[in-house]
C-alpha cells in the first residue's frame, strides 16, 4: 500500500485568482476541500471530509486550530441584503468538533465548538468559550468569554470552570501533536 500524503500543498484549490495561503507544519487530509481566499496559520490541521470554501469572501484560521472531520466552513457574501458580507475568522488554538458548521462568523482564541454545532452569519464568539454539541448560535449573536453555551437557539448555560479553561488549551495542543504524527508518518 502507498502512504497517504497529508501535506497541505497537495490539496489546495485555486478559485479564480485566490489561492489558499498556508503556514508551517499544516496538515490537510486528502479528502478535504480547501478552496479560495483562505489563510491557514502554523500548525493548523484540517481533518477528513471537511469543506472549507472561501469563494466570495475570505476565511482565516489561526495558529494551532483544528477543524475536525466532516465540518463545513463558509462565508457570507456581500450583496444587496448584506453590503459587506461576513468573512469567517477563527482565532488561535480553537477546536472545531466533528460535523460543525461555521458560516460567516468570528471565533476568538481557545474556543471549543462541540460536535454538530452551528454558528451562523455575523455571530461573534469571544475568547475562551465552549459551545455544546448540537448548539445553534443564531445570526448576529455574541457569546461572552468564560461561558458554556448550549441549546437551539444557544443560550448561556453556566460559567466554565478553571479546569475547563485549561482543557481548551490542552485540546488544541493534543491535536497539534496528533497532526504532527500524521505528517511525520506520511513522510516515512
pLDDT tens, position by position, 157-166: 999 999 999 9
pLDDT for 22-79, tens place per residue?
999 999 999 999 999 999 999 999 999 999 999 999 999 999 999 999 999 999 999 9
CB 51 within 8 A of CB 29: no
Count of structural domains within the chain: 1
pLDDT at 1: 57
pLDDT at 7: 73
Cβ proximity of 57 and 163 under 8 Å: no
- As a whole number of angstroms, the distance between CA 31 and CA 22 comes to 17
For position 22, what pLDDT does the model report?
A: 95
Q: Does residue 67 belong to any structural domain of this protein?
A: yes
What domain range includes position 37? 8-187
When pLDDT is averaged across residues 8-18 and rounded to a whole number, the result is 82
Which CATH number does the domain housing residue 100 bear?
A: 2.160.10.10
- Whether residue 1 lies inside any domain: the answer is no
pLDDT of residue 32: 96
Residue 76 has phi, psi (to 5 degrees) of: -115, 120
Q: How confident is the model at residue 188 (pLDDT cuts 50, 70, 90)?
A: low
Q: Cα–Cα distance between 109 and 175 in angstroms, integer?
A: 15
* CB within 8 Å of 177: residues ≥ 6 apart: none
Q: The whole model's pTM is what?
A: 0.95
Q: Coil, helix or strand for 123?
A: coil
How far from 2 is each of 5, 41, 141, CA to CA, in Å? 9, 29, 47
Q: What is the pLDDT of residues 84-113, one digit of tens each?
A: 999 999 999 999 999 999 999 999 999 999
Q: For residue 3, is it within any domain?
A: no
Task: Judge whether 2 lies within some domain.
Answer: no
d(CA 179, CA 2): 19
Amino acid at each position: 500500500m502507498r502512504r497517504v500524503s497529508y501535506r497541505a500543498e497537495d490539496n489546495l484549490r485555486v478559485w479564480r485568482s485566490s489561492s489558499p495561503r498556508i503556514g508551517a507544519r499544516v496538515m490537510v487530509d486528502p479528502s478535504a476541500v480547501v478552496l479560495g481566499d483562505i489563510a491557514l496559520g502554523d500548525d493548523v490541521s484540517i481533518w477528513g471530509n471537511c469543506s472549507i470554501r472561501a469563494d466570495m469572501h475570505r476565511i482565516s484560521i489561526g495558529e494551532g486550530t483544528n477543524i475536525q472531520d466532516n465540518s463545513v466552513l463558509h462565508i457570507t457574501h456581500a450583496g444587496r441584503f448584506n453590503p459587506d458580507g461576513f468573512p469567517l475568522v477563527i482565532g488561535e488554538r480553537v477546536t472545531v468538533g466533528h460535523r460543525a458548521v461555521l458560516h460567516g462568523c468570528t471565533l476568538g482564541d481557545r474556543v471549543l465548538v462541540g460536535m454538530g454545532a452551528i454558528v451562523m452569519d455575523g455571530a461573534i464568539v469571544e475568547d475562551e468559550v465552549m459551545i455544546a454539541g448540537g448548539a445553534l448560535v443564531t445570526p448576529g449573536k455574541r457569546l461572552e468569554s468564560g461561558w458554556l453555551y448550549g441549546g437551539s437557539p444557544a443560550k448561556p448555560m453556566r460559567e466554565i470552570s478553571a479546569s475547563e479553561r485549561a482543557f481548551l488549551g490542552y485540546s488544541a495542543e493534543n491535536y497539534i501533536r496528533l497532526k504532527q504524527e500524521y505528517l511525520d508518518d506520511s513522510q516515512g
